[in-house]
Amino acid sequence: MKKITLLSALCLLALSPATPAFAAGDAKTPPEQDWSFKGLTGTYDRGALQRGFQVYKQVCSACHGMRLKSYRNLEALGYTPEEVKAIAAEYTVMDGPDDEGEMFERPARPSDRFVSPYPNEETARYANNGALPPDMSLITKSRKYGADYIYALLTGYSEPEHGEVLQAGQYYNKYMAGNKIAMAAPLADDVVAYEDGSPTTMEQYAKDVSQFLTWAAEPELEQRKRMGLKVILFLLAFTGVMYAVKKKIWADVKH
């Protein structure tokens, strides 16, 4: 297997299915985490979402795009319109043609999609020795166990177990099919500075970015749960009314 670049090793999360180069094996089932968005009344933790976006921006976005998200969507994380505008302006997009028929570059706007780290798929594969970094927009929906799997994979690197031998460019991960992954651990303690005083540990980074990616895949989760509660309450009330009507109609009938 070709040796991967340092940038790829740090940024590519290797969340795509195992390639034929790795024999399929029994990966451990990810432990169930206590997420704030779980349950019928669960909601997203805005602080965790902002920290997760910071991890994605500083670590993951060098290789992984999020083509289904626009910068203005970040307002749902608690950012102000001014903050979103400033975040978007950090990136450059190709626009045009202008009055002379020429394409030109300009700072990204809140209405623009997240800027991809690569201009096309061929460039992405070339930069990562043939591997195409998966888009992160729906990653938690496309993987079994969702956020639990993402968190487990990011924290599941260890020394080989059961005497397994790794080839050059392979790393051991207990939650990866086959337990062999062609990517070094992308997270480590103190690689991202948090301004809110949260722990700057690998586990905290993994938990925060897992929550951010869950929001990216299911931004409507809270609205859907609110609607579900309303429907349940309506059905309960409707059932009570129907029972009262039935008792009224059949009150004079002997059973």
Mean pLDDT over 155-179 rounds to: 86
Q: From the CB of residue 176, how many other CB atoms can be counted at a distance below 10 Å?
A: 25
pLDDT of residue 23: 39
Protein fold of 6-69+115-219: Cytochrome Bc1 Complex; Chain D, domain 2 (1.10.760)
Grade residue 195 by pLDDT with cuts at 50, 70 and 90.
very high
Longest distance between any two alpha carbons in the chain, whole Å: 90
Residue 6 has pLDDT above 60, yes or no: no
Residue 2 has pLDDT above 80, yes or no: no
Structure tokens at 147: 């956020």
Domain limits of the chain?
6-69+115-219, 80-112, 220-255
pLDDT of residue 255: 62
Give the residue, 20 or 200, on which the prediction is more confident.
200
Radius of gyration over every alpha carbon of the chain, rounded to an integer in angstroms: 24
